[in-house]
Amino acid sequence: MVCPLCTIAVAAGVGVLESWGFDRIIIGLWFGALIVSSIAWMIDWTNRKNIHFLFKKILIILSFYAIFVVPLYFIKIGGQVLMGTGVGEVLGIDRLLFGIIIGTFIFIAGVLSNNYLKKINDGKVMIFWQKVIVPVVFLIISSVIAWLLIRILSG
């Protein structure tokens, strides 16, 4: 389960990075994390409400990625490659979408790392706010690495 404060922190990260003009890859890292966090909330909510149906998790996952990502392309925030301009791609993928994909896995790794830390500490957190700190630190570290790689590779 992902805590509400973690989702708020990640959403704030998306807004701050966008307003400061960071590269779309870095914004995508945080946006991917926001999507995963929202998916986890919805799955948990449906479980608590005893809502069950065939392929529930898959449908929630696909729906949330569609809800979050598709509008970006219609308002031309992302998708330059898909719109035919060829600008802003990494490995043939739009920079924002590339960041979202990577951010998805980084956030999942952060959540799993938090769970592992709790497991090896007899089910207890090692530090206050660990559930928030660990995934956010994963995102911060990956953002710094991405920023450095972008600077090095762009000249």
Q: What share of the chain in percent tops pLDDT 70?
A: 88
152: number of Cβ within 10 Å: 8
pTM of the model: 0.84
Q: Which residues share a beta bridge with 90?
A: 93
User: Quick one: DSSP state of residue 121?
Assistant: T
* Rounded CA separation 3/61 (Å): 18
- Indicate the helix (H) or strand (E) that contains 145: helix 130-153
Angle at 102 between CA 88 and CA 58, to 5 degrees: 115
**The pLDDT of residue 11:** 83
Q: What is the pLDDT of residues 91-131, one digit of tens each?
A: 778 888 999 999 999 999 999 999 999 999 999 989 998 98
**Structural Rg of the chain based on CA atoms:** 17
